[in-house]
Amino acid sequence: MLSEQEIIAENKAIAKEYKELLRISYQSLTEDDKKLIRLAFDTAVEAHSDQRRKSGEAYIFHPIAVAKIVASEIGLDATSIAAALLHDVVEDTSYTLPDIERLFGPIVAKIVNGLTKIAHLKKDMNISQQAENFRKMLLTLNDDVRVIIIKIADRYHNMLTMDSMPEYKQLKIASETLYIYAPLAHRIGLYNIKTALEDLSLKYTEPEVFNDISDKIEESKEDQQKYIDDFTSSIKDSLAKEKFKYSIKGRMKSIFSIRRKMLKQQVTFDEIYDKFAIRIVYASAPEDEKFLAWKIYSIVTDHFTPNPVRLRDWITSPKTTGYEALHITVMGPKGKWIEVQIRSERMHEIAEKGYAAHFKYKHGAQKEQGIDLWLNRLQEALENDNINAVDFVEEFKLNLYSKEIFVFTPKGELKSLPKGATPLDFAFSIHTQIGSKTRGAKVNGKLVPLNTPLHSGDQVEVITSENAKPTQNWLNYATTARARSKIKTALKEAKKPLLKKVKKYSEES
């Protein structure tokens, strides 16, 4: 039992957290927004009043922390902040869903219901069960995409506060996070959270490795800063001459990605040359962004020799996650290759907060075009019962983490595909009917086999025939989850008449 003094101190701390939540909200909050958030806060405080976390602190600190992540690090609206405050109320307290709808309306209730459904999924270490849970969880996107985003914020806070849990639970939650939540955060464009989830997972799955790399990063911080200062001093006069408003910072690669490189390249920490990148973020009017990015590129390459094969132009062709930037690798001070990322403040904002920061909901319905496209593709995959859950997750993750290429249709429209995609993948990305009727393909005007890997800049033309239909071999030619899913469905449908005949024949005999 807490003493009276401890209760007073705890209540003061809760009130302080609430004020902080309103202060750090990324969105500008109206008076109605503040009333909604206040009601959600008061309801959550009352509902969780008798509950405490494993660490001993009042449970209410958890939903407030999740709401703070949603408000500042992801940048969602007041509806999302209220839903985050209430995300465990129906699951863990006497409040019911009708109570939430009566108090907060149908949209908040729908999001809380989606979060409650996820909470009810079985928590099993079995991979096939995890995969099935993953598919079921994604089905909550039918309710509202904010369900998944708030769930990612919830998992992020749980990962930050796992120290008081038993080791077996830490391992289980960390493994599930790497398997499910980090890929989702990546695809929604929440790069900062995705990186944190991967690093925190490594902290519990391989603590010695995590601590070793973490210590080495700390030791090299002074050298990094000196390198950034040397780089900045070389170009600051040229940038000042052009009257740029900018900032230059260094960004260390994550512990998880350094570990992945060490394993992949079979090298030590000291042997990885590109452990950190330099980021130039500049102020710009929207119409000048592209011009100014290339102007900064010109200044950097006037001072440092660029590696021509390492130029990445994601301003002309943004990633499907919405990411925009110019990436160049130059021979920097001390003869070291260094990646330089050039972004406007708007591009930086998208990179930091992903699509979520820019959702402009009107009555809970309006979403940005890019996320809509992804959700539509995802929905098609989810509705396909012919693929088993483990295959679905593996293909989903494969497409998530693969690098992108950009190819052209015969009319000059730009299409994004994962690296390694083939003309067959391209055909299915245009339309299922076109994919299913593919007879051949031309790349840059020349006939090519359907399993030919495509490259950025290729112009692809699909040749169709009414008589063409998917064959088993097509599964060796297709790499994207969409194409493979559609091919498997077609093959299964084609077998049905044959199975009927066999059944009929066996019954007659």
**Is there a catalytic annotation at residue 92?**
yes
Q: Which long-range contacts (CB under 8 A, 24 or more apart) does 417-423 make?
A: 417/454, 417/480, 418/479, 418/480, 420/453, 420/479, 421/453, 421/454, 421/479, 421/480, 422/450, 422/451, 422/452, 422/453, 422/454, 422/477, 422/478, 422/479, 423/448, 423/450, 423/452, 423/454, 423/460, 423/462
- Taking CA atoms, 37 is separated from 16, 226, 382, 433, in Å, by 15, 45, 33, 47
Q: Is 445 left (phi over 0), alpha (psi -120 to 50) or beta?
A: left
CA 103: distance to chain centroid? 32
* Token pair listed for 259: 């570990």
Angle 219-205-213 (CA atoms, 0-180°, nearest 5)?
10
Tell me which of 10, 17, 20, 92 is the catalytic residue.
92
* Token pair listed for 16: 């302080």
Question: 369-382 and 127-139 helices cross at what angle (nearest 10)?
Answer: 130
CA 94: distance to chain centroid? 34
Tell me which of 91, 345, 380, 394 is the catalytic residue.
91
- Cα dihedral 82, 88, 89, 90, rounded to 10, equals 120
Query: By the 8 A CB rule, do 206 and 163 touch?
Result: no
Largest pairwise CA distance in the chain: 91
Q: CB under 8 Å to 228, separation ≥6 — which residues?
A: 248, 249, 250, 278
**Is there a catalytic annotation at residue 32?**
no
CA 355: distance to chain centroid? 9
Q: H or E stretch including 436?
A: helix 432-436
Scanning 124-181, the segments in alpha helix (DSSP H) are 127-139, 145-160, 167-176
CB atoms within 10 A of CB 499: 10
Catalytic residues, by residue number, are: 91-92
